[in-house]
Amino acid sequence: MPHMKNQNGEIVGKLFQDLKGKVDAVLIVNSRSPFLDENFQYFTDVRGGVFEGSFALVTKTQARIITSKLEEGIAKKSGCNVDVYSTAQQRDSLIRSRLRGKDVIGINEAAVSVATMKRLRKILRGKKFKDVSEDISKCRAVKIKREIGRLKKAASIASKTAEEIPEILRVGMTEKEAAAEVDYLLRCNGADGPAFETVVAFGSSSALPHYMAGERRLTKGSVALFDFGALYWNYRSDISRTYFTKPLNTRMTKIYKIVLSSQEAAIKKISPGIRASEIDTAARTVIEKGGFGRNFIHSTGHGIGIAVHDSISISERSTDVLKENMAFTVEPGIYVPRLGGVRIEDDVVVTARGCRVITNASRQMIVI
Protein backbone atom coordinates (compact mmCIF):
# COMPACT_ATOMS: atom_id res chain seq x y z
CA MET A 1 0.00 0.00 0.00
CA PRO A 2 1.56 3.35 -0.98
CA HIS A 3 2.39 5.67 1.90
CA MET A 4 0.54 8.98 1.81
CA LYS A 5 1.95 12.10 3.40
CA ASN A 6 -0.13 13.28 6.35
CA GLN A 7 -1.14 16.93 6.09
CA ASN A 8 -1.83 17.63 9.77
CA GLY A 9 1.55 19.15 10.65
CA GLU A 10 0.00 22.64 10.69
CA ILE A 11 -2.65 21.59 13.22
CA VAL A 12 -0.11 19.77 15.39
CA GLY A 13 2.23 22.75 15.29
CA LYS A 14 -0.58 25.14 16.19
CA LEU A 15 -1.50 23.06 19.26
CA PHE A 16 2.06 22.91 20.60
CA GLN A 17 2.53 26.62 20.00
CA ASP A 18 -0.49 27.22 22.24
CA LEU A 19 0.74 24.71 24.82
CA LYS A 20 4.00 26.69 25.24
CA GLY A 21 6.02 23.73 26.52
CA LYS A 22 3.49 22.61 29.16
CA VAL A 23 3.66 19.00 27.95
CA ASP A 24 6.08 16.74 26.08
CA ALA A 25 3.37 14.89 24.14
CA VAL A 26 -0.41 14.60 23.94
CA LEU A 27 -2.11 11.21 24.06
CA ILE A 28 -5.60 11.10 22.54
CA VAL A 29 -7.54 8.06 23.75
CA ASN A 30 -10.25 6.62 21.51
CA SER A 31 -11.73 4.06 23.88
CA ARG A 32 -15.21 2.63 23.33
CA SER A 33 -18.59 4.29 22.87
CA PRO A 34 -19.48 6.69 24.43
CA PHE A 35 -15.80 7.52 24.99
CA LEU A 36 -14.83 7.98 21.34
CA ASP A 37 -12.89 11.22 20.97
CA GLU A 38 -13.33 13.18 17.70
CA ASN A 39 -9.88 14.65 18.37
CA PHE A 40 -8.52 11.33 17.14
CA GLN A 41 -9.77 12.29 13.65
CA TYR A 42 -8.79 15.92 14.17
CA PHE A 43 -5.11 15.16 14.76
CA THR A 44 -4.68 12.15 12.45
CA ASP A 45 -6.99 13.21 9.59
CA VAL A 46 -8.02 9.58 9.24
CA ARG A 47 -11.17 9.09 7.17
CA GLY A 48 -13.44 6.18 8.05
CA GLY A 49 -13.06 3.35 10.55
CA VAL A 50 -14.22 3.24 14.16
CA PHE A 51 -10.82 2.96 15.88
CA GLU A 52 -12.12 1.69 19.22
CA GLY A 53 -9.22 1.01 21.57
CA SER A 54 -6.89 3.19 19.50
CA PHE A 55 -4.61 6.09 20.38
CA ALA A 56 -3.24 9.18 18.65
CA LEU A 57 0.17 10.13 20.01
CA VAL A 58 0.73 13.79 19.17
CA THR A 59 4.18 15.36 19.39
CA LYS A 60 5.51 18.71 18.18
CA THR A 61 5.89 17.53 14.60
CA GLN A 62 3.46 14.67 13.97
CA ALA A 63 0.59 12.48 15.06
CA ARG A 64 1.18 8.73 15.31
CA ILE A 65 -1.62 6.15 15.33
CA ILE A 66 -1.54 3.15 17.67
CA THR A 67 -4.31 0.76 16.64
CA SER A 68 -5.37 -2.85 16.20
CA LYS A 69 -5.04 -4.93 13.03
CA LEU A 70 -8.74 -4.30 12.40
CA GLU A 71 -8.04 -0.67 11.48
CA GLU A 72 -4.50 -1.02 10.07
CA GLY A 73 -5.44 -0.49 6.41
CA ILE A 74 -7.53 2.62 7.02
CA ALA A 75 -4.94 4.03 9.44
CA LYS A 76 -2.17 3.80 6.86
CA LYS A 77 -4.26 5.72 4.33
CA SER A 78 -4.05 8.74 6.65
CA GLY A 79 -0.34 9.16 5.97
CA CYS A 80 0.44 8.98 9.70
CA ASN A 81 3.06 6.63 11.10
CA VAL A 82 1.16 3.60 12.41
CA ASP A 83 1.92 1.08 15.15
CA VAL A 84 -0.25 -2.05 15.11
CA TYR A 85 -0.96 -4.31 18.07
CA SER A 86 -2.59 -7.72 18.38
CA THR A 87 -2.97 -7.97 22.15
CA ALA A 88 -3.53 -5.61 25.08
CA GLN A 89 -0.01 -6.37 26.26
CA GLN A 90 1.44 -5.33 22.91
CA ARG A 91 -0.68 -2.15 22.97
CA ASP A 92 0.56 -1.16 26.44
CA SER A 93 4.15 -1.92 25.46
CA LEU A 94 3.85 0.29 22.37
CA ILE A 95 2.46 3.18 24.41
CA ARG A 96 5.29 2.90 26.95
CA SER A 97 7.90 2.68 24.19
CA ARG A 98 6.64 5.67 22.23
CA LEU A 99 6.46 7.81 25.38
CA ARG A 100 9.91 6.89 26.66
CA GLY A 101 11.76 10.06 27.65
CA LYS A 102 8.58 12.13 27.72
CA ASP A 103 7.71 13.06 31.29
CA VAL A 104 4.58 15.22 31.02
CA ILE A 105 1.73 13.77 28.99
CA GLY A 106 -1.23 15.87 27.89
CA ILE A 107 -4.65 14.20 28.17
CA ASN A 108 -8.06 15.34 26.94
CA GLU A 109 -9.79 14.64 30.25
CA ALA A 110 -13.15 15.72 28.83
CA ALA A 111 -13.27 12.50 26.77
CA VAL A 112 -11.54 9.98 29.05
CA SER A 113 -13.33 7.77 31.57
CA VAL A 114 -12.14 7.28 35.13
CA ALA A 115 -11.44 3.61 34.34
CA THR A 116 -9.24 4.54 31.36
CA MET A 117 -7.27 7.06 33.41
CA LYS A 118 -6.61 4.42 36.06
CA ARG A 119 -5.31 2.08 33.38
CA LEU A 120 -3.08 4.79 31.86
CA ARG A 121 -1.58 5.63 35.23
CA LYS A 122 -0.74 1.96 35.66
CA ILE A 123 0.74 1.61 32.15
CA LEU A 124 2.69 4.88 32.41
CA ARG A 125 3.70 4.73 36.04
CA GLY A 126 5.89 7.70 36.95
CA LYS A 127 4.59 9.98 34.20
CA LYS A 128 2.81 13.23 35.00
CA PHE A 129 -0.56 13.83 33.32
CA LYS A 130 -1.90 17.26 32.47
CA ASP A 131 -5.39 18.11 31.22
CA VAL A 132 -5.09 19.90 27.87
CA SER A 133 -8.78 19.85 26.90
CA GLU A 134 -9.06 23.66 26.91
CA ASP A 135 -5.91 23.98 24.80
CA ILE A 136 -7.31 21.55 22.24
CA SER A 137 -10.62 23.44 22.18
CA LYS A 138 -8.75 26.69 21.56
CA CYS A 139 -6.81 25.07 18.73
CA ARG A 140 -9.97 23.71 17.11
CA ALA A 141 -11.80 27.03 17.31
CA VAL A 142 -9.68 28.68 14.59
CA LYS A 143 -9.67 26.68 11.36
CA ILE A 144 -6.80 26.20 8.93
CA LYS A 145 -7.32 26.54 5.17
CA ARG A 146 -7.96 22.82 4.59
CA GLU A 147 -10.59 22.70 7.33
CA ILE A 148 -12.43 25.67 5.85
CA GLY A 149 -12.38 23.98 2.46
CA ARG A 150 -14.06 20.90 3.89
CA LEU A 151 -16.59 22.95 5.83
CA LYS A 152 -17.48 24.79 2.61
CA LYS A 153 -17.95 21.47 0.83
CA ALA A 154 -20.17 20.15 3.64
CA ALA A 155 -22.14 23.43 3.57
CA SER A 156 -22.52 23.25 -0.20
CA ILE A 157 -23.94 19.72 0.02
CA ALA A 158 -26.40 20.74 2.75
CA SER A 159 -27.45 23.83 0.77
CA LYS A 160 -28.13 21.81 -2.38
CA THR A 161 -30.19 19.38 -0.30
CA ALA A 162 -32.19 22.24 1.25
CA GLU A 163 -32.99 23.57 -2.21
CA GLU A 164 -34.34 20.13 -3.17
CA ILE A 165 -36.59 19.67 -0.13
CA PRO A 166 -39.60 21.51 -1.66
CA GLU A 167 -39.51 18.95 -4.49
CA ILE A 168 -39.94 15.99 -2.11
CA LEU A 169 -42.19 17.62 0.50
CA ARG A 170 -45.85 16.67 0.14
CA VAL A 171 -49.00 16.76 2.25
CA GLY A 172 -49.60 13.36 3.84
CA MET A 173 -45.96 12.24 4.20
CA THR A 174 -44.64 11.47 7.69
CA GLU A 175 -41.72 13.16 9.42
CA LYS A 176 -39.77 9.90 9.29
CA GLU A 177 -40.33 9.63 5.55
CA ALA A 178 -39.15 13.21 5.05
CA ALA A 179 -36.05 12.61 7.22
CA ALA A 180 -35.18 9.52 5.18
CA GLU A 181 -35.53 11.52 1.96
CA VAL A 182 -33.17 14.20 3.30
CA ASP A 183 -30.55 11.63 4.34
CA TYR A 184 -30.78 10.06 0.87
CA LEU A 185 -30.37 13.43 -0.83
CA LEU A 186 -27.34 14.27 1.33
CA ARG A 187 -25.52 11.15 0.17
CA CYS A 188 -26.60 11.65 -3.45
CA ASN A 189 -25.17 15.17 -3.28
CA GLY A 190 -21.77 13.95 -2.04
CA ALA A 191 -21.96 13.65 1.75
CA ASP A 192 -20.23 10.81 3.59
CA GLY A 193 -23.42 10.74 5.66
CA PRO A 194 -25.65 12.99 7.76
CA ALA A 195 -23.74 15.25 10.15
CA PHE A 196 -26.17 14.28 12.94
CA GLU A 197 -29.65 12.77 13.24
CA THR A 198 -31.85 14.72 10.85
CA VAL A 199 -34.62 16.71 12.53
CA VAL A 200 -37.97 16.98 10.73
CA ALA A 201 -40.87 18.50 12.66
CA PHE A 202 -44.34 19.12 11.28
CA GLY A 203 -47.04 21.31 12.79
CA SER A 204 -46.88 22.04 16.50
CA SER A 205 -43.91 19.65 16.85
CA SER A 206 -41.77 22.35 15.23
CA ALA A 207 -42.01 24.27 18.52
CA LEU A 208 -39.62 21.65 20.00
CA PRO A 209 -36.07 22.57 18.84
CA HIS A 210 -34.58 19.08 19.33
CA TYR A 211 -37.61 17.09 18.26
CA MET A 212 -37.12 13.55 16.93
CA ALA A 213 -38.87 12.78 13.64
CA GLY A 214 -41.91 10.60 14.20
CA GLU A 215 -45.14 9.44 12.58
CA ARG A 216 -46.82 12.85 12.38
CA ARG A 217 -48.06 13.60 8.87
CA LEU A 218 -47.78 16.91 7.08
CA THR A 219 -51.16 18.63 6.75
CA LYS A 220 -52.49 21.64 4.88
CA GLY A 221 -51.80 25.02 6.45
CA SER A 222 -48.88 23.64 8.45
CA VAL A 223 -45.21 24.22 9.30
CA ALA A 224 -42.37 21.92 8.21
CA LEU A 225 -39.08 22.55 10.00
CA PHE A 226 -35.92 20.76 8.81
CA ASP A 227 -32.59 20.78 10.69
CA PHE A 228 -29.80 18.72 9.13
CA GLY A 229 -26.23 18.77 7.92
CA ALA A 230 -23.69 17.00 5.75
CA LEU A 231 -20.65 15.07 6.93
CA TYR A 232 -17.71 15.49 4.56
CA TRP A 233 -14.23 14.15 5.39
CA ASN A 234 -14.84 14.42 9.16
CA TYR A 235 -16.28 17.98 8.94
CA ARG A 236 -19.93 18.88 9.49
CA SER A 237 -22.34 21.51 8.27
CA ASP A 238 -25.58 22.44 10.03
CA ILE A 239 -28.52 24.14 8.34
CA SER A 240 -32.18 24.74 9.24
CA ARG A 241 -34.98 25.77 6.93
CA THR A 242 -38.68 26.21 7.68
CA TYR A 243 -41.26 25.62 4.96
CA PHE A 244 -45.04 26.03 4.91
CA THR A 245 -48.01 24.41 3.24
CA LYS A 246 -51.03 26.35 1.95
CA PRO A 247 -53.12 28.05 3.21
CA LEU A 248 -50.51 30.20 4.96
CA ASN A 249 -51.02 31.12 8.63
CA THR A 250 -50.65 34.92 8.94
CA ARG A 251 -49.11 34.69 12.43
CA MET A 252 -46.45 32.28 11.19
CA THR A 253 -45.72 34.64 8.29
CA LYS A 254 -45.02 37.40 10.81
CA ILE A 255 -42.83 35.08 12.88
CA TYR A 256 -40.82 34.03 9.82
CA LYS A 257 -40.08 37.63 8.87
CA ILE A 258 -38.93 38.43 12.43
CA VAL A 259 -36.61 35.40 12.54
CA LEU A 260 -35.11 36.27 9.16
CA SER A 261 -34.52 39.89 10.27
CA SER A 262 -32.98 38.58 13.50
CA GLN A 263 -30.55 36.37 11.60
CA GLU A 264 -29.61 39.20 9.23
CA ALA A 265 -28.87 41.50 12.17
CA ALA A 266 -26.64 38.87 13.79
CA ILE A 267 -24.71 38.15 10.59
CA LYS A 268 -24.17 41.86 9.99
CA LYS A 269 -22.57 42.16 13.45
CA ILE A 270 -19.92 39.48 12.87
CA SER A 271 -16.28 40.53 12.55
CA PRO A 272 -12.95 39.76 14.27
CA GLY A 273 -12.65 41.21 17.77
CA ILE A 274 -16.40 41.18 18.45
CA ARG A 275 -17.56 39.27 21.52
CA ALA A 276 -19.74 36.28 20.66
CA SER A 277 -22.30 37.53 23.17
CA GLU A 278 -22.79 40.65 21.01
CA ILE A 279 -23.92 38.45 18.11
CA ASP A 280 -26.48 36.83 20.37
CA THR A 281 -27.66 40.23 21.59
CA ALA A 282 -28.10 41.48 18.03
CA ALA A 283 -30.32 38.53 17.16
CA ARG A 284 -32.24 38.54 20.45
CA THR A 285 -32.98 42.28 20.31
CA VAL A 286 -34.85 41.94 17.00
CA ILE A 287 -36.96 39.06 18.33
CA GLU A 288 -37.72 40.89 21.58
CA LYS A 289 -38.82 44.00 19.66
CA GLY A 290 -41.07 41.76 17.58
CA GLY A 291 -42.84 40.63 20.75
CA PHE A 292 -41.48 37.06 20.89
CA GLY A 293 -38.54 37.41 23.28
CA ARG A 294 -39.68 34.62 25.59
CA ASN A 295 -40.10 32.32 22.59
CA PHE A 296 -36.40 32.42 21.64
CA ILE A 297 -35.29 29.63 23.96
CA HIS A 298 -31.75 28.75 22.86
CA SER A 299 -28.48 30.45 21.99
CA THR A 300 -27.92 32.10 18.61
CA GLY A 301 -25.27 29.67 17.46
CA HIS A 302 -22.45 27.23 18.11
CA GLY A 303 -19.10 26.33 16.59
CA ILE A 304 -18.90 23.83 13.75
CA GLY A 305 -16.01 21.64 12.65
CA ILE A 306 -15.07 18.06 13.45
CA ALA A 307 -18.05 18.10 15.86
CA VAL A 308 -21.42 19.58 15.00
CA HIS A 309 -21.24 21.55 18.28
CA ASP A 310 -17.59 22.60 18.16
CA SER A 311 -15.53 24.79 20.49
CA ILE A 312 -17.17 28.24 20.61
CA SER A 313 -20.62 29.37 21.74
CA ILE A 314 -22.68 32.27 20.38
CA SER A 315 -24.74 32.92 23.50
CA GLU A 316 -25.58 35.56 26.08
CA ARG A 317 -23.06 34.18 28.57
CA SER A 318 -20.27 33.35 26.11
CA THR A 319 -16.84 34.80 26.85
CA ASP A 320 -15.52 33.92 23.37
CA VAL A 321 -14.08 36.67 21.19
CA LEU A 322 -14.33 36.19 17.43
CA LYS A 323 -11.17 35.60 15.41
CA GLU A 324 -10.61 35.29 11.70
CA ASN A 325 -11.28 31.73 10.43
CA MET A 326 -13.62 30.77 13.25
CA ALA A 327 -16.68 28.90 11.95
CA PHE A 328 -20.09 28.73 13.57
CA THR A 329 -23.85 28.71 13.02
CA VAL A 330 -26.27 31.63 13.22
CA GLU A 331 -29.69 30.17 14.04
CA PRO A 332 -32.27 32.35 15.79
CA GLY A 333 -35.70 30.81 16.26
CA ILE A 334 -39.16 31.48 17.63
CA TYR A 335 -41.16 28.61 19.15
CA VAL A 336 -44.82 29.00 20.06
CA PRO A 337 -46.35 26.03 21.90
CA ARG A 338 -49.36 24.43 20.17
CA LEU A 339 -48.71 26.55 17.07
CA GLY A 340 -45.23 25.78 15.79
CA GLY A 341 -41.73 27.11 15.39
CA VAL A 342 -39.51 28.83 12.87
CA ARG A 343 -35.73 28.49 12.77
CA ILE A 344 -33.41 29.76 10.04
CA GLU A 345 -29.85 28.50 10.40
CA ASP A 346 -26.74 29.12 8.35
CA ASP A 347 -23.02 28.46 8.69
CA VAL A 348 -20.50 31.30 8.61
CA VAL A 349 -16.73 31.72 8.58
CA VAL A 350 -15.22 34.86 10.10
CA THR A 351 -13.14 36.83 7.59
CA ALA A 352 -10.70 39.72 8.05
CA ARG A 353 -13.50 42.30 7.78
CA GLY A 354 -16.71 40.43 8.51
CA CYS A 355 -17.91 36.96 7.64
CA ARG A 356 -18.74 34.70 4.74
CA VAL A 357 -22.02 32.75 4.81
CA ILE A 358 -21.08 29.33 3.43
CA THR A 359 -24.58 27.84 3.30
CA ASN A 360 -26.28 29.42 0.31
CA ALA A 361 -29.77 27.90 0.15
CA SER A 362 -32.53 30.49 -0.21
CA ARG A 363 -33.74 32.02 3.02
CA GLN A 364 -36.92 33.41 1.53
CA MET A 365 -40.23 31.98 2.70
CA ILE A 366 -41.22 28.93 0.65
CA VAL A 367 -44.83 27.78 0.59
CA ILE A 368 -45.63 24.33 -0.79
- Give the E-state strand segments of the chain in sequence order: 25-30, 54-58, 63-68, 81-85, 104-107, 128-131, 193-194, 199-202, 223-228, 230-232, 235-236, 239-244, 301-303, 310-314, 327-330, 333-336, 340-343, 346-350, 355-357, 366-367
> Alpha carbon 150 to chain centroid distance?
12
What domains does the chain contain, in order, with CATH numbers? 9-141 (3.40.350.10), 145-367 (3.90.230.10)
What pLDDT sits at residue 32? 86
pLDDT, tens digit (0-9, with 9 covering 90-100), for 152-179: 999 999 999 999 999 999 999 999 999 9
> Alpha carbon 266 to chain centroid distance?
20
CB-count burial class (<10 Å; 0-12, 13-18, 19+) for 17? exposed
Residue 21 zone, left/alpha/beta (φ > 0; ψ -120 to 50; rest): left
Concatenate the DSSP letters of all residues of 177-189 into one string. Answer: HHHHHHHHHHHHT
The answer to whether residues 62 and 12 touch, using CB atoms and an 8 Å cutoff, is yes
Q: Is the pLDDT of residue 91 over 80?
A: yes
What pLDDT sits at residue 5? 54
pLDDT, tens digit (0-9, with 9 covering 90-100), for 338-350: 999 999 999 999 9
Q: Is the pLDDT of residue 24 over 60?
A: yes
Amino acid at 221: G
Percent of the chain at pLDDT above 70?
Answer: 98
**Residue 31: closest CA among 67, 84, 85:** 67
What pLDDT sits at residue 6? 65
Q: Is the pLDDT of residue 2 over 50?
A: no
Q: Is the pLDDT of residue 309 over 60?
A: yes
pLDDT, tens digit (0-9, with 9 covering 90-100), for 212-250: 999 999 999 999 999 999 999 999 999 999 999 999 999
What pLDDT sits at residue 1? 34
Q: Whole-number mean pLDDT of the chain? A: 96
What pLDDT sits at residue 3? 43
